[in-house]
Every structure is written in structure tokens, then in C-alpha cells.
Amino acid sequence: MPESPEKWTTAGMTRRRYPRVKAPLRVRVVELSGKTWVGEAHDLSPLGMKVKAGQVASSSPVHLEFELPGGGPTLNVTSFAVRNDPDGVAFSFVDLTRTAFALIRQAVDLLLLGRKLWILIIEDDRSVADVLADYVEAQGHRPILVPNAEEGLAYLSQDRPDAILLDLTLPGMSGLEFLERLSRQGMHVPVLVVSGRSEKDAARCLEMGALDFVQKPLDRDQLRATLSALEFRSLEQRLAEIELDLGV
């Protein structure tokens, strides 16, 4: 039988790849018994969502009513409860119209593309660090400033930024030693070296895995181009790393 032109189903899917985004939105849940409750959704994808508050028996059908971030029509989507987690009920969409699927996918894609990057700036000269931080913020991202490589490693032991802006001439551990440490520890974080050192040092940084080398005084066009490349690289990594079970 040919596929219906109006609807398709996720039934029969075992594993699918698609990104989910943290997008708080108000969802009205209508259960088969007629019981209704309102929760806040998160982990939205074109194949499902998770809704905080409430408990629904697994495999129970419900209707989810919600508006997407950015506005648009109210969607009424038939869904099944996949599981009850401590942070909410995971739902998988079924019989989703092509129009609804396209609207949800567009909203997810736009949220992913608009995601801010967290960029760790390792620079001991406070005036230079402030210039870099101002530029990162002007591009719509979030800077984290530390004055030396040791504090940079301490930060990386607790959290992972999207990228690192690294000076080579640092007190204590040098920038080159920092790159070597990242390599030995298998930390795959894009590093942009910003330094006044020679082309020989630039070549060595690139050999050690740095994404790019920007010479001081700063070439703002090159820095902007590299930050743009980091945005797409971050998106690609998220698409590659996130694997959803039944699209949730």
C-alpha cells in the first residue's frame, strides 16, 4: 500500500538519529481517560519530547497540545508514553502530519543554529583577554576567562567548553605544553591559538591539533571567520553525538 500523503508514523522505528534541544514550552497533555494536565516540555525533537510533571502509563496514547518556540499554530499531536523518568515523561510522536513534522523540525534546526557557544579564553594579559571577551560576546557567544593554563585545565576537569582561545606565552605552563596535555588526555576541544609568536610556532600548534592560529595584533576578520567555523563544527558534533531512542 502506498504511503499516505497526509500522515506518517514512527511505528517500527527502533533507533533514529536526530538532535533534541532544550526548549521550554508549555504543553497540555490530554489522556485517553479525559484527564488533562499541563507541564513544561524539554528535550524537543521532531520525533518526540519529554514533559515535566505528571505520570503516564507506558504505551498509553495521549494528545499533546503546544505551540512551538517562536510562535505559530497550536499543534495537536497524538503520542505514546515511552517511559517515566525522574525528570519527566518521554513521549514519542505518532501519526504526525507532514506539516507538523516540518514545523517542529524547522523549530529544532533554528534553535540548534542559534545556540550560543561557551568559549574558554586562556590569556594572562587582562587587557587582551577583555578585548577577546568583548569580541566573543559581540558575536553572540559566552566567554569564560582564566589567566593561565593550569586554571584552564582545572576548568576542563569540571566542564567542557565549545572551544578554547589560547595564548602561547603564559606564566607557568606554556600554551604549547597545554596543547600537549590536551593531546595526552584525549580532550577533543577545538583550540584557536591567539599569539604574537613566530610562524614556526604557528606551524607547531597546527601540528599539535590546534584548529587555527591568529597572529597578534588581532586580525578581526580571521577571528570572525574562525568563530563562524566553530559554530558549524559545534552543530555537527551535536548531530553526530546525540542518538535518540524512538526519537525522544
The predicted pLDDT at position 248 comes to: 39
Based on the fold, state whether residues 217 and 132 are members of the same structural domain: yes
User: For residues 246 and 138, which has the higher predicted lDDT (pLDDT)?
Assistant: 138
pLDDT tier for residue 156 given thresholds of 50, 70 and 90: very high
Q: Same structural domain for residues 170 and 92?
A: no
Are residues 73 and 19 located together in one domain of the fold?
yes
Between CA 241 and CA 106 the distance in angstroms is 20
Q: Answer whether 121's CB lies under 8 Å from 227's CB.
A: no
Asked if residue 2 is part of any domain, the answer here is: no
Domain boundary among 98, 113, 128: 113
Q: Compare 113 and 35 and report the one with higher pLDDT.
A: 35
Domains in the chain, number: 2
Query: Is there a domain that residue 224 lies in?
Result: yes
Question: 210 and 157, same structural domain?
Answer: yes
Query: 174 to each of 61, 104, 190, how far by Cα in Å?
Result: 59, 47, 18
Give the bridge partners for 64, in sequence order.
Answer: 29, 77
145 domain residue, yes or no: yes
Nine-digit cell at 53? Answer: 510533571
pLDDT value, residue 8:
40
Instruction: Select from 95, 113, 131 the last residue of a domain.
Output: 113
Could you tell me if 180 and 209 lie in one domain?
yes
Position 165 scores a pLDDT of 93
Which segments within 86-223 are labelled E, that is strand? 88-93, 96-97, 118-122, 142-146, 163-166, 191-195, 212-215
In terms of domains, do 153 and 226 share one? yes
pLDDT above 80: residue 1: no
pLDDT score of 150 = 96
Is residue 63 assigned to a domain? yes
Contact between 74 and 65 (Cβ < 8 Å): yes
Task: Give this prediction's pTM.
Answer: 0.55
Of 61, 90, 113, the one marking the end of a domain is: 113
What is the residue range of 87's domain? 7-113
What would the pLDDT profile of 90-120 be if each residue is shown by its tens digit? Answer: 999 998 888 888 888 878 877 776 667 889 9
Domain co-membership, 80 together with 151: no
